[in-house]
Structure 1
């Protein structure tokens, strides 16, 4: 599996699983039903951040975006978001993308990585991030309207670099 910087030709290949994950309503609070062009700025991160893809040969397995969590005086802490095509979940793609983002942030001189909104019912992601050194530093109760569980919390998770 190769992790590389996403290019303009990758976005039309990311958009189908981006749309499917958003439409499922279980992990992201992005607006639903975004067209190819309307969704692009929600995922394709401009510098100083970047968006990457995980590929095996010609198959795009997943994607991550990363960059400063806040501008100005908060720009020493990174953030990231991750999506794995549901057809390829359970194959370690999320872990590889997570490891890539941690290495990228460390090499870029960030002091830590903060995830602002990890849905508490997304237990696979919570376990993955904890196994990579993140800890839950707080939970906003009822911050996410889950389609099956109703109002659930969103964790703020942090990894000191």
Structure 2
């Protein structure tokens, strides 16, 4: 055997994927909880060429790095392609996904079964903190664009970046 297992240590890795445009307190809650369960937690900013985000991928990654700086085992990267390929390339056996409502479960279960069938990667579902059960990046952007107060929904760094971006739009 080669690699970490041959040395008697096994690094437990997981990934929290998403578009994170922008990252919200709900995302942060899931990432922080995963970081307490795993040795390394990758936050994969997934690139969808068919969607134009409010923030560039690099801006999203920088914001995530800033707001997760208190979690030294969090690694932020981007990926274009299948999530299972990201997992294979980094020897990640688990995907951690937050579930806000039953409506999330139907879609996420299909994705979990597909990912497992393609590569054997397991998906762990974490119930979202009820405080954030309604929260999505899309909703934050919409409310902020109409002048609503989203300060309690995103970290201060993200709020500043969001306000600046919306002023320029």
* TM-score, with length taken from structure 2: 0.31
Structure having the higher helix fraction is 2
Richer in strand (by share): 1
State the structure with more CA Rg.
2
Q: Comparing both chains, which one has the higher relative contact order based on Cα–Cα distances under 8 Å and sequence gaps of 6 or more?
A: 2
TM-score (norm 1): 0.32
